[in-house]
Amino acid sequence: MAEKKKIVIIGGGFAGLKLARELKGSGFRVVLIDKHNYHQFQPLMYQVATSRLEPSSIAFPLRKVFQYEKDIHIRLAEVERIDTDLKKVYTDQFIMDYDKLVVAVGATTNYYGNEELKKFAMPMKSVQESMALRNRILMTFERAICMSEDESLPLMNFVVVGGGPTGVELAGALAEMRKYILPKDYPDRDFSMMKIYLLEGAQATLGSMSKNAQKYSQLYLEELGVIVKTNTIVESYDGTEVVFKGGGSILTKNLIWAAGVKGNTLPGLPKDSIVRGGRYKVDRYQAVAGLKDVYAIGDIAYMETEKYPHGHPQLANVAISQAQNLAQNLMNEEKGGVLNAFEYKDKGSMATVGKRRAVVDLPNVKFQGWFAWLTWMAVHFWLILSVKNKLTIFINWMMSYFNNDSTLRIILRANRSKVTDTMPKPSLEEVS
């Protein structure tokens, strides 16, 4: 009996996870490598950061997904380099060969080369970063109540940089927290002095969406008391003062960076295959330019088509569609069938700005308000992996809807782990 071909997938995000699920029962041996043992649902990370949801609600163990699949294997490791000549993946735990390699490592925060921002600004691209941000937000108020109002001014200014969906949703959640929750938690503090700023370098928030979405997202934010500053670019931030290009500044101890992403490129893949945004250039079949049997999907992939001459948007729907297309092509290729060029069918985009406020752009209709908010909730609820997580999120959302509160404002700070600190180091032998 011929040995099964091995497909190694690097990354357990929307793209990598969907590809592995599509390849169930395909006859391939699939190995999914990720530095975390769980899939994280990025669109709801801002709700973890603002104490609306627990991290376990938006994370799901990868091994649980494939408990009954004998040909799909999970490996917890961090990839250090790829050797495309020898067809080997080198990690901090083992060395593994492959027949086909799929890079689905996603994107990380882009500080555009500003080391000051990297040092002092707070990102929100992972569950850990969301938890760190939650702790920072809650500790801010614990510190502020021990200070005079003048002394606490930099603490009580929250600055969110980036007017995309993440920035808009986070600013809206902070504004609702200020309105509904903080006055009850800290009755001896006047929260009218708490300022929330949203800074956007372009002319409008939600620049990739319709004019309707841009108009109403800014309107909703301003109704919640968020100070929206468009055409505003951050020049520097020293941990206390954020300075704008062209003049102006804000004193703040809390600058949250949601202004851009760049691809998580891997050592060993040719640098000339990397294009703008740190993404790998791929053809219409997801193959990385200049390489054989190496593919890229999701946020890390850059594909030019007639409809998308500057690459596809870095959205979950795009990642899922690319994974479905690649899975079908890999199976077709194995059977000697025809390969299908990828063509993305736009399913729309959306963003929420607090309770009962959202904007939705569908291919044939644009709308906003209460129904848009219900649509946003339904779509995100459907994308969550497990029934248990769906129920947990639904209960939290309903409680928050009716009483404008949650019970999740717990500050958790982890100590060093004796388990990982005393774990024996692997010999870095080659594994199957």
Residue 151 belongs to domain with CATH number: 3.50.50.100
Residue 125 lies in a domain: yes
Compute the distance between CA of residue 54 and CA of residue 409 in angstroms, rounded to an integer.
10
Domain that holds residue 70: 6-109+261-334
Residue 356 lies in a domain: no
Compute the distance between CA of residue 131 and CA of residue 385 in angstroms, rounded to an integer.
20
Residue 350 lies in a domain: no
The H or E element spanning position 323 is helix 316-334
Q: How far apart are the first and last CA of the chain?
A: 18
How confident is the model at residue 173, as a pLDDT?
95
Smallest CA-to-CA distance from 317 within 289, 285, 350 is with 350
Asked if 274 and 310 sit in the same domain, the reply is: yes
How confident is the model at residue 420, as a pLDDT?
54
Compute the distance between CA of residue 348 and CA of residue 183 in angstroms, rounded to an integer.
37
Asked if 120 and 244 sit in the same domain, the reply is: yes
Residue 295 lies in a domain: yes
Asked if 180 and 92 sit in the same domain, the reply is: no
Asked if 71 and 119 sit in the same domain, the reply is: no
Smallest CA-to-CA distance from 396 within 28, 26, 54 is with 54
Residue 163 lies in a domain: yes
Compute the distance between CA of residue 255 and CA of residue 402 in angstroms, rounded to an integer.
31
Residue 274 belongs to domain with CATH number: 3.50.50.60
Compute the distance between CA of residue 121 and CA of residue 257 in angstroms, rounded to an integer.
6
Three-state SS for 81? Answer: strand
Asked if 148 and 239 sit in the same domain, the reply is: yes
Compute the distance between CA of residue 350 and CA of residue 367 in angstroms, rounded to an integer.
10
Domain boundary among 238, 259, 280: 259
The Cα-based distances of 307 to 284, 318, 345, 347 in angstroms read 12, 13, 10, 14
β-pairing verdict for 358-362 and 365-368: antiparallel
The answer, as to whether pTM is greater than 0.95, is no
The H or E element spanning position 183 is helix 182-185
Residue 321 lies in a domain: yes
Asked if 120 and 216 sit in the same domain, the reply is: yes
Asked if 52 and 11 sit in the same domain, the reply is: yes
Asked if 60 and 187 sit in the same domain, the reply is: no
Compute the distance between CA of residue 5 and CA of residue 275 in angstroms, rounded to an integer.
30
Domain boundary among 223, 240, 259: 259
Asked if 184 and 229 sit in the same domain, the reply is: yes
Both structure tokens of 322: 């690319």
Asked if 236 and 291 sit in the same domain, the reply is: no
Strands (E), 2-99: 6-10, 29-34, 38-40, 59-61, 72-76, 79-83, 88-91, 95-97
Both structure tokens of 7: 């497909």
Compute the distance between CA of residue 127 and CA of residue 337 in angstroms, rounded to an integer.
41
Residue 58 lies in a domain: yes
Asked if 104 and 172 sit in the same domain, the reply is: no
How confident is the model at residue 199, as a pLDDT?
97
Three-point CA angle 407, 412, 415, nearest 5°: 165
Tens of pLDDT, residue by residue, the chain (432 residues)? 568 899 999 999 999 999 999 999 999 999 999 999 999 999 999 999 999 899 989 999 999 999 999 999 999 999 999 999 999 999 999 999 999 999 999 999 999 989 999 999 999 999 999 999 999 999 999 999 998 888 889 999 999 999 999 999 999 999 999 999 999 999 988 888 999 999 999 999 999 999 999 999 999 999 999 999 999 999 999 999 999 998 999 999 999 999 989 999 999 999 999 999 999 999 999 999 999 999 999 999 999 999 999 999 999 999 999 999 999 999 999 999 999 999 999 889 999 998 899 999 998 899 999 999 999 999 998 888 888 888 888 888 888 877 777 767 888 776 555 555 555 666 666 777
Residue 31 lies in a domain: yes
Three state DSSP letters for 366-430: EEECHHHHHHHHHHHHHHCCCHHHHHHHHHHHHHHHHHCCCCCCCCCCCCCCHHHHCCCCCCCCE
Asked if 126 and 238 sit in the same domain, the reply is: yes
How confident is the model at residue 381, as a pLDDT?
87
User: Considering its fold, how many domains does the chain have in total?
Assistant: 2
DSSP letter for 240, please: S
For residue 179, what are the contacts with CB-CB under 8 A and spacing of at least 6? 224, 225
Residue by residue, DSSP assigns 110-173 as --TT-HHHHHHSB--SSHHHHHHHHHHHHHHHHHHTTS-TTTTTTTTEEEEE--SHHHHHHHHH
How confident is the model at residue 423, as a pLDDT?
58
The H or E element spanning position 62 is helix 62-65
Domain boundary among 315, 334, 353: 334
Both structure tokens of 175: 């504004």
Q: How many residues does the chain have?
A: 432
What is the phi-psi region of residue 408: left when phi exceeds 0, alpha when psi lies from -120 to 50, beta otherwise?
alpha
> Torsion over CA of 365, 369, 373 and 375, rounded to 10 degrees?
-20
